[in-house]
Amino acid sequence: MGKALIFLADGFEEIEGLTVVDLLRRAGVEIQMVSVTGSLEILGSHKIRIRADVLFEDMDAFGAELYVLPGGKLGTENLAAHAALGRLLQDAAASGKKVAAICAAPSVLGGLGILKGRRATSYPGFESQLVGAELSVDPVVVSGNIITSRGMGTAIPFGLELVSQLKGRAEADKLADSIVFDRK
């Protein structure tokens, strides 16, 4: 089935975070929304309030195969400032688990040294923060166990790629058809 964790902080881009959660749940992947703020209530970048499933300090990361960071400038800054999350992401990437980030959030991975020697993409203007990466402008980039994407407009292809990574291309294609998403 697969298990995924998506890390949320105040200021996250709602479409990037919630599209991933929605698509993975539709595909039968267990995904938990993890708050790094100390509160289950998170305020998105467009003032949409959501309730996370669990606090970072209470989560069970055991068995997780995928770790996801949504973007949003303030949300990305808040994720980058969380030292324990940084260590978790470094350990996950080093152990071959899938680590994914969209929009500004690939800069978190760059700052942690996770992108060195890999292809990666990000929101325009954040390229200099993808430390050590071979830069791409593709909507979604898979480089080994690291998946990056450009922004809100690429949230569906990003989410579908995450489904593909955990459940296979056929499942991702079936899901794309069911939501009437043209993958061309």
76 Cβ partners below 8 Å, 6+ apart?
A: 11, 69, 103, 104, 105, 107, 108
Which residue in 103, 142, 155, 160 is the catalytic one? 103
Is residue 129 annotated as a catalytic residue, yes or no? no
- From CA 8, how far away is CA 139, in angstroms rounded? 22
Closest alpha carbon to 164 in 70, 115, 100, 118: 100
CB of 154 closer than 8 Å to CB of 102: yes
Residues that are catalytic: 103
